[in-house]
Amino acid sequence: MADMARWDPDARGRLTKAAMQLYAERGFDATTVADIARNAGLTERTFFRHFADKREVLFAGSSRLQELMVAAVVNAPASAPPIDAVAAGVAAAGTALTDLAFSRRRQALIESNPTLQERELIKMARLGSAFAAALRERGVAEPGASLIAEAGMAVFRVAFDRWVKNAGDRSLSELTREGFAELRSLVASSAV
């Protein structure tokens, strides 16, 4: 157990670190909020000030990430084709998701737990819907807005999976750029 006083700074960071450590040691299901708080040297009440439940340690940044990504789609130049606007949104994720070690641990936990997998799928579906809505705001009609949004989400998922599993020294941003280049190449070659 940590020997820090409850009033020490960065309670959220300490709770996240404690949770990730315990999830890795015991598994997600076997770890309780009380365990996390105790390991961080804090109270359960402090935990609940920062997180709604123990899943939120893994998903707490989802809404901020979605806002960042959707804002990039909305703020892409008006002359940008829809696929470029979505690429801008996905690229924004690469600037926010830079902690590869944390992302690897998080992804391993999600892949090992069906409840967390479901939560991740819901998060990704919401992001795809938000991308489609942003494209409609830009004047892209349906079904085009949904098709392009889902294509962008596919690029994001493939790039993220490559990044956490075997990125080498390449960043998520680089992998997403490669993914969009590959998608454009495939679309262009099939149009011939």
The CA distance from 70 to 138, in Å, is 12
Residue 110's Cβ-count burial label (10 Å; 0-12, 13-18, 19+) is: buried
The CA distance from 107 to 163, in Å, is 11
The CA distance from 95 to 101, in Å, is 15
Give, for all 192 residues of the chain, the pLDDT tens digit: 444 444 557 899 999 999 999 999 999 999 999 999 999 999 999 999 999 999 999 998 899 999 999 999 999 999 999 999 999 999 999 999 999 999 999 999 999 999 999 999 999 999 999 999 999 999 999 999 999 999 999 999 999 999 999 867 889 999 999 999 999 999 888 765
Whole-number pLDDT of residue 192? 57
The Cβ of residue 131 has, within 10 Å, a number of other Cβ atoms equal to: 28
Give residue limits of the domains in the chain.
11-57, 61-190
Whole-number pLDDT of residue 26? 94
The answer to whether domain 11-57 and domain 61-190 are alike in fold is no
The CA distance from 117 to 19, in Å, is 18
Closest listed residue to residue 106, CA positions, set 178, 48, 163, 175: 163
Whole-number pLDDT of residue 77? 97
pTM reported for the whole predicted model: 0.86
User: Are 92 and 157 contacting, i.e. CB atoms less than 8 angstroms apart?
Assistant: no
Q: How far is CA 139 from the centre of its chain?
A: 27
The topology (CATH level 3) of 11-57 is Arc Repressor Mutant, subunit A (1.10.10)
The topology (CATH level 3) of 61-190 is Tetracycline Repressor; domain 2 (1.10.357)
